[in-house]
Structure 1
Amino acid sequence: MLATLASTHSGTTSVRSTNLRVAVNSSYSGKSDLSHGLVLELTVHSQDFGQLCETAYRWLTQGAQVASVQQELDQLTHDRPVSKVGFDSVSDVASRREAGDLWGYLSVAPVESLNVLYNPFTSRALEWLRESLTKRPESAGMDVGRYSDSGEISDSLIRLAVTFDEDLPEYVMLSYFVDEVKLVDSSTAAIEHERLLGVMEWACREFNVVFGHTSYDRPDRSTEHERFLRGPAPWRNTPNWASMLRGYSWLTVASADVVRALGGSGSLRNSGAFVEVAELPCGSYFLQATPTYAEYHDERVLSVYQALQPALVEGEFRRPSAAPGQPPTHMIIFDEDR
């Protein structure tokens, strides 16, 4: 997927067609009766806050356009009013419409307020978004979806976000969210893989991505590996991207120093754990375990773990919670499984 990245750096938002043909693996061990959200999170590093702001802005605008593989953004209406300070409610920017119509909005969570501010996803609101990002909010995002049969806002078709952490002033986290079911269901898997892999390819080509992972979405933004480790909060591991990995997953981005410590890209290719090992323009490496998400379980997870284990952040493992509704544990290797 990303083999040509190192030689195709570009400032445009277009990506080549992936022509994905997805065969859903019926033995997918992670399926459950509950739907769980997945997040692709990319850690971008820069000592220049202005550059981090520009990265965040481009992720929420150009990145959203890349993910709009069925031209959803082009179908949005632009007759919504725009507020210079932001609206207090989603209903102010995406009120009831006809079933099947598209809705879209931008959101910003300022540091100094418990409120979230909104504006419609239109060109007229982009100046508000850019200015809001310069104030280093806790987070900002964009959502696009279709109105339900009753004319109400339904689940997002495209959802991207950025997160700033006051304890990590040199970083911005770029997130792309997708429902796990959409990646394994035969009616949606192809288009959802095209969205996710397309936006990841674009971002890895454009930005200084020093770490990346695909994990279940949780408030502390932990990887699957960190989820079961006792010890410091996950954010404390972020600055150590040059010497360790916060986790391993279906799609992983590792720094050049980490890959070198693991024996180099050739060693990772020869491990048999990855279908793709590609150097990025920023020097990091993109590692893809299987062609599709549905294939990433059991022996494939173990192979990735064994290939990356020497670089993983260390700690004492704890067993999964017995509480109902928790995401499955098929993407993590426990001591007895090694």
Structure 2
Amino acid sequence: MDFRIASTQEFGRLAEDWVMGAADTLAPDPLARVIADSRLPRGPLTSGAPCGPAFAEWGFVSRVRRIGGARERRTARVLDAMSAGWVAKSVYDGAEGLAMAMYALDSEGYPDELLIRAEAEMLPDSPSWARAWIEGPEAVLFDPASRTRWLRFMHGFAAGVDPSFGQISYAYGDEDTTALETLAGPPWTIASEAISASRDVLRGYDWLTICPAELTERLGGAAALRATNAFAQVEPLRGGGTWLLATENYEDYRAERVEAVWRALAPVLVKGTPRQEVSAKSEVPFRLVFRDAAEA
């Protein structure tokens, strides 16, 4: 999710809501086990050392402060009962990035399977903009109860920030580009520039897409989007923007629905023809229509 911020203090409040809210709401059982496990080392992270006993669950929180331009200072602590207080203090003390993650440890006590990771950061090159994201196993979206928790969490946060873009999608590498931005080039998308321009052009589309108010208006408003029959849910968000859920069940988002969403959003989408030959080599699917949105 991308959104504008008025100050570092506002970012800190929102980042804490996002990161610690994700732990509390989306992974309450692993969080409880991590906090209760007395076998886990506590305090600052120790580089190179095992994080805990074999096959335990373990987590950390970290914060970033920037020191003169692009330089940054990152500090991190093991996730425990004291971490929430440390995070709360840090986000009101000039932090420009915040992260939380939980893992299942391997047989030697090092992080293995990701349970959940949530991050928020101010953009170094555009400090009035912020982005927030959560990574987790796709399986949570196939379970109705888990899916509902994820959607409610996303919806609640989005309603308070007037988002310029948001989606639930696969992760495509480390560049923070959407599926469409990853394949529709040249010119290639620079994520920070795409975020700054996200009220002028829609960065992509997927099972869940959050469209900013400016682009919703260009599409004719919520009523016009409902009339396309491309979405199971079309809901104006309290703070601005429109919540667009393609299908009630995640597993029902297949090729026919992908095309319907593409057609509904094409007038405001990033232009360019996605390169299908590149997508064929990917380990994760690109749920796209492989035509230029200008043709819709």
Normalised by the shorter chain, which TM-score bucket? 0.7 to 0.9
Using the TM superposition, give the Cα deviation of residue 44 of structure 1 relative to its aligned residue in structure 2, in angstroms: 2.2
Match of 1:64 in 2: 23
Provide the rounded CA distance (Å) in 1 between the counterparts of 2:278 and 2:241: 34
Q: For the structure 1 residues 250 and 65, does the alpha-carbon distance in structure 2 shift closer, same or farther, using more than 3 Å as the test?
A: same
Match of 1:155 in 2: 113
Query: Which of 224, 227, 237 in structure 1 is aligned with 2:194?
Result: 237
Identity, % of aligned positions = 23
Is the contact made by 1:44 and 1:171 (CA closer than 8 Å) also made in structure 2? yes
The one-letter code matched in structure 1 to 2:8 is F
Give TM-score, length-normalised by structure 1: 0.73
Q: For residues 6-85 of structure 1, what are the structure 2 equivalents within 5 Å?
A: 42-68=1-27, 70-77=28-35, 80-83=41-44
Provide the rounded CA distance (Å) in 1 between the counterparts of 2:14 and 2:84: 14
Match of 1:194 in 2: 148
Q: Which is worse superposed, 45-54 or 271-280?
A: 45-54
1:208 aligns with 2:159: no
1:89 aligns with 2:44: no
Q: Deviations over 1:291-324 (max 9, x none)?
A: 1222112110000000000011224544442784
Match of 2:128 in 1: 170
Match of 2:235 in 1: 278
Using the TM superposition, give the Cα deviation of residue 48 of structure 1 relative to its aligned residue in structure 2, in angstroms: 2.1
Q: For residues 170-319 of structure 1, what are the structure 2 equivalents within 5 Å?
A: 170-181=128-139, 183-184=141-142, 189-217=143-171, 218-230=173-185, 231=187, 232-315=189-272, 317-319=274-276
Structure 1 unaligned segments of length 5 or more: list them: 1-41
Using the TM superposition, give the Cα deviation of residue 205 of structure 1 relative to its aligned residue in structure 2, in angstroms: 3.2
Is the contact made by 1:46 and 1:208 (CA closer than 8 Å) also made in structure 2? no
Using the TM superposition, give the Cα deviation of residue 150 of structure 1 relative to its aligned residue in structure 2, in angstroms: 6.7
Give TM-score, length-normalised by structure 2: 0.82
Q: For the structure 1 residues 147 and 245, does the alpha-carbon distance in structure 2 shift closer, same or farther, using more than 3 Å as the test?
A: same
Q: For the structure 1 residues 262 and 297, does the alpha-carbon distance in structure 2 shift closer, same or farther, using more than 3 Å as the test?
A: same
Structure 2 unaligned segments of length 5 or more: list them: none
Using the TM superposition, give the Cα deviation of residue 236 of structure 1 relative to its aligned residue in structure 2, in angstroms: 1.3
Q: Deviations over 1:34-65 (max 9, x none)?
A: xxxxxxxx112122221012111121112321
Q: Which is worse superposed, 58-67 or 148-157?
A: 148-157
The one-letter code matched in structure 2 to 1:289 is A
Is the contact made by 1:89 and 1:118 (CA closer than 8 Å) also made in structure 2? no
Using the TM superposition, give the Cα deviation of residue 148 of structure 1 relative to its aligned residue in structure 2, in angstroms: 5.2
Provide the rounded CA distance (Å) in 1 between the counterparts of 2:267 and 2:200: 11
Q: Which is worse superposed, 210-219 or 167-176?
A: 210-219
Q: For the structure 1 residues 111 and 191, does the alpha-carbon distance in structure 2 shift closer, same or farther, using more than 3 Å as the test?
A: farther
Give the match's secondary structure for 1:238.
helix
Using the TM superposition, give the Cα deviation of residue 132 of structure 1 relative to its aligned residue in structure 2, in angstroms: 4.6
Using the TM superposition, give the Cα deviation of residue 76 of structure 1 relative to its aligned residue in structure 2, in angstroms: 2.8
Provide the rounded CA distance (Å) in 2 between the counterparts of 1:48 and 1:111: 15
Is the contact made by 2:63 and 2:75 (CA closer than 8 Å) also made in structure 1? yes
- RMSD (CA atoms): 2.9
Using the TM superposition, give the Cα deviation of residue 130 of structure 1 relative to its aligned residue in structure 2, in angstroms: 4.2
Is the contact made by 2:180 and 2:274 (CA closer than 8 Å) also made in structure 1? no
- Give the number of equivalent residue pairs: 284
Provide the rounded CA distance (Å) in 1 between the counterparts of 2:227 and 2:281: 40
